[in-house]
Amino acid sequence: MARIVMKFGGTSVANLDRIRAVSAFVRREVDAGHAVAVVVSAMAGETNRLVSLCHEVGDPVPALDARDVEYDAVVASGEQVTAGLLALMMQNLGYRARSWHGWQIPLKTDNAHGKARIRDIDGEVIGTAMDNGEIAIVAGFQGVGDDGRISTLGRGGSDTSAVALAAAVGADRCDIYTDVDGVYTTDPRLTKHARRISKISFEEMLEMASLGAKVLQTRSVELAMAFKVPVRVLSSFDPPDAPGPGTLICDEEDIVEQNIVTTVTPDFNEASVTILAVPDEPGRAAAIFNALADGNINIDMIVQSASREAGFANISFTTKEADLEQAVEVLRNEQPKIGFKALQSDRNVAKVSVIGTGMKSHAGVAATMFRTLAEKGINIQNISTSEIKISVLINADAAEYAVRVLHEAYGLDAPKPTAQN
Ligand code: ADP
Ligand code: ASP
Ligand code: MG
C-alpha cells in the first residue's frame, strides 16, 4: 500500500460532471489498495469571482492587514465548496471520505495574508485517516495563520498545499492533475509544436515556474525539491483507467537525455519602470531599492545606464504588472530623497526566458537567442541571466512570436510529419 496525494486544479473540477470525472481517478487509486489524500482547487473561475467581490466592496479599512485577513476569509471559501462536493460524491459511491479545511489539519502558515507561506503541517491526523481507509479531501490554497485566522497561499497555491501535504505524510507520490497532460517545452496554448517532456529536473521546473509558466506554483516546486517529493503532472481529461505518462519532476541525475535548452517560457505579467536622471553617486540605488523593498514590491531585471546628462544615470527595473502602480507611487513619494528627474513606466512588455541545465556546460546559448530575435526584428530592452536561464524583456506584442521562433531555433519543435504519414 502506498500513500498517494492527488491534486486537481480548477478546470479539472469546473462543474459537477468534472468532479464526477475526478471521483473516477480517486476510485482507481483507492481500489488499487492505496491510502489516498486529495487536494482540490476552487471550481474554475470561482477564485476570480471571489477576488472581484472583494474589490467591489472596496477598501474602506485604513489598515491593509485587516483587509487582507477578510480577503482570505472570502477567497478560501471556493476550495471548501469543491472539497465538500467531492467528499459527498465519494460517499455516494460507497467510500469513506471527509473534507478538511486548512485549520482543521492544521496547515499552519505565517500571517502574510493573501500570500502566506506554510510553516508546518501536522501529517499525523491526515496520515492516520488515510491509512485507515478514509479518503482525506483537503481544501487547497488555505491554511491558518499564527493569528488564528484563515490564510491563503497566493494564486495557484493549491499545488503548494498538495506538495506540502505529500511531504508531511511522507507520500510515495504527489500527482498533480491539470488540463494539460504534462509539462511542455513551452505553453502548449502558444504553439502546436510544443512537446511534452517526460522528465524534468527540479531546478528547471523551479526556474520555469518562477519565470511565469503557470503549470505549477513556484513554492510547490521549492518544497518538492527540498523534501524530495516525487511530483508528476498528469491530465484529468485522460480516461481515468488509462491516464497518460505525464511528466515526472525529478533529480537531474535521473534524466538520461538532457537538452541544452529544455523550455521557452513567456511571462506576460511584467511591467518596466525607468527612473531618469538619478544622481550618479553612492547610495542612490540603495535608496530606490530600499523604498521598494519597504513597500514589499518584488523587483526583477535591473539595468543602470549612463544618462545623457553628465553626472546622472538612468535606472530601469521590472516588476509584476500588479505591483506597478504601487511601485510608481512609492518612488514618487521618495522623489525628493532619491533626487531623480522623471519616471516612465510601461505595461506593454513581456519577459521571454530560455531555460536548461545543459547551458551550464555549453557555450553559444545566449548568442543563439540574440541572433534569432535580431533576425526577426525583435528589439531586446533588458537582459538577465542565471546559470540555467537567459531572460529578455521585449515588447509584449512580439512575445508570442518570439516564443515560437526561439522554440524552433533551439530544436524544440515537434518533428514535422513526413510525406509517408
Ligand atoms: P490548474 O487549474 O490545474 O492548477 P493551471 O491553469 O494553473 O491549472 O496550469 C495549467 C496551465 O499551465 C495549462 O493550461 C497551460 O496553458 C499552462 N502552461 C504554461 N506553460 C506550460 C508548460 N510549459 N507546460 C504545460 N502547461 C503550461
Ligand atoms: N483557486 C486558487 C487560484 O485560483 C488556487 C489554485 O487554484 O491553485 O489561484
Ligand atoms: Mg494552477
**pLDDT surpassing 50 at residue 110:** yes
Please tell me the distance from the alpha carbon of residue 54 to that of residue 75, in angstroms, as a whole number.
9
Supply φ then ψ for residue 394, to 5 degrees: -135, 175
Q: Indicate the pairing of strand 3-8 with strand 173-178.
A: parallel
Same domain, 284 and 143: no
Cβ neighbours of 26 (radius 10 Å) = 24
The verdict on the CB of residue 356 being under 6 Å from ligand 1 is no
Nearest ligand to the C-alpha atom of residue 246: 1
Same domain, 288 and 140: no
Tell which of 148, 179, 210 closes a domain.
Answer: 179
pLDDT-above-90 percentage for the chain: 89
For range 103-131, the mean pLDDT: 95
Mutate to test the pocket of ligand 1, among 19, 155, 180 (most ligand atoms within 8 A of CB): 180
Same domain, 268 and 133: no
Ligand 1 centroid to Cα of residue 34, in Å, is: 27
The verdict on the CB of residue 11 being under 6 Å from ligand 1 is yes
The verdict on the CB of residue 157 being under 6 Å from ligand 2 is yes
Closest atom, ligand 2, to C-alpha of 154: 9
Q: Is residue 90 part of a domain?
A: yes
Ligand 2 centroid to Cα of residue 47, in Å, is: 6
Give the per-residue pLDDT at 64: 54
Q: Is residue 141 part of a domain?
A: yes
pLDDT-above-70 percentage for the chain: 97
Q: Is residue 404 part of a domain?
A: yes
| Whether the Cβ atoms of residue 224 and residue 231 lie closer than 8 Å to each other | yes
The verdict on the CB of residue 78 being under 6 Å from ligand 2 is yes
Q: Mind listing the pLDDT tens digit for each residue in 40-75? A: 999 999 999 999 999 899 765 555 566 789 999 999
Cell numbers for 123 = 501529517
- The pTM of this model reads 0.93
Q: Mind listing the pLDDT tens digit for each residue in 173-223? A: 999 999 999 999 999 999 999 999 999 999 999 999 999 999 999 999 999
User: Which residues face 304 on adjacent strands?
Assistant: 315
For range 136-152, the mean pLDDT: 97
Closest CA to 263 of 338, 365, 363: 365
Tell me the DSSP string of 197-226.
Answer: -SEEEHHHHHHHHHTT-TTS-HHHHHHHHH
Tell which of 118, 151, 179 closes a domain.
Answer: 179
Give the per-residue pLDDT at 258: 76
Q: Which residue has the cell 542565471?
A: 386
Range in 140-144, 293-297, 380-384 with the lowest mean pLDDT: 293-297
Same domain, 272 and 365: yes
Ligand 1 centroid to Cα of residue 35, in Å, is: 27
Angle 53-56-58 from CA coordinates, rounded to 5°: 120
| Whether the Cβ atoms of residue 195 and residue 184 lie closer than 8 Å to each other | yes
How many domains does the chain divide into?
A: 2
Same domain, 285 and 398: yes
Angle 393-415-198 from CA coordinates, rounded to 5°: 75
Which CATH number is 59's domain given? Answer: 3.40.1160.10
Same domain, 17 and 164: yes
Ligand 3 centroid to Cα of residue 254, in Å, is: 26
Please tell me the distance from the alpha carbon of residue 102 to that of residue 84, in angstroms, as a whole number.
13
Tell which of 163, 179, 195 closes a domain.
Answer: 179
Nearest CA to ligand 1 atom 22: 187
Closest CA to 21 of 330, 243, 183: 243
Q: What's the full length of the chain, in residues?
A: 421
Q: Mind listing the pLDDT tens digit for each residue in 228-271? A: 999 999 999 999 999 999 999 999 989 987 789 999 999 999 99
* Mean pLDDT rounded to a whole number for the chain: 94
**pLDDT surpassing 60 at residue 420:** no
Supply φ then ψ for residue 360, to 5 degrees: -60, -35
Cβ neighbours of 165 (radius 10 Å) = 29
Ligand 3 centroid to Cα of residue 25, in Å, is: 18
Q: Mind listing the pLDDT tens digit for each residue in 336-395? A: 999 999 999 999 999 999 999 999 888 899 999 999 999 999 999 999 999 999 999 999
**pLDDT surpassing 60 at residue 311:** yes
**pLDDT surpassing 50 at residue 400:** yes
The domain in which residue 389 lies consists of 264-409
pLDDT band (50, 70, 90) for residue 421: very low
